[in-house]
Chain A
Amino acid sequence: GIQVEQSPPDLILQEGANSTLRCNFSDSVNNLQWFHQNPWGQLINLFYIPSGTKQNGRLSATTVATERYSLLYISSSQTTDSGVYFCAVGTGANSKLTFGKGITLSVRP
């Protein structure tokens, strides 16, 4: 099956710093989503981005499908950005999602 690798596995930032989270995948995909899992376990949609670039406030994402990677940018980080960030890619006719292992982000005040 498809492999999804996220890096770095852990990230510690000072409040106000910027960061880039990476997702590499091993095959063609027809769906890609970024999620934020907060400390309460809720999985929040950030972006649906099988290709191209999108922005939502301090967050933006870029997927280069031909090179099989996606990037999530967080600018001016806040403590509420802490949690685990998952990349999930969809393949096949039913676009079955396969998740990466996640990136644990801690933003210090």
Chain B
Amino acid sequence: EAGVAQSPRYKIIEKRQSVAFWCNPISGHATLYWYQQILGQGPKLLIQFQNNGVVDDSQLPKDRFSAERLKGVDSTLKIQPAKLEDSAVYLCASSPGGRQPQHFGDGTRLSIL
């Protein structure tokens, strides 16, 4: 079974620029998550989708972050404009449902200059 795919693996941008990340979950997984992991900390949930609907975006900084999962499969997370404090690893995860184990992709390491 193929795992969660993410791209790109690394991204370097200057502050105030925009950036987008892509995630393709495990086939058949209805629930998709985006996490932010700052160096030295555990991952923090940004947004959770069930199929193509948002079920939790309480920790998403909506003034600059947006995410979509239009066809209930792959998803994009966008930051516009980026700030220095957005430097982190952005992890995508998927699961068959809310109380099932989550499986993580390899993440995108974002550096803001």
Contacts and interface: CB of A to CB of B under 8 A. Distances in A.
* Interface residues on chain A, size class: 20 to 34
Contacts of B43: 43, 86, 88, 99
A95 B99 contact: yes
A65 to B, nearest CB: 13
A80 interface: no
B91 to A, nearest CB: 7
* Interface residues on chain B, size class: 20 to 34
A88 B42 contact: yes
B99 to A, nearest CB: 4
Contacts of B102: 33, 45, 97
A45 B55 CA distance: 23
B44 A99 contact: yes
6 contacts: A41-B106, A41-B109, A43-B43, A43-B107, A97-B45, A99-B44
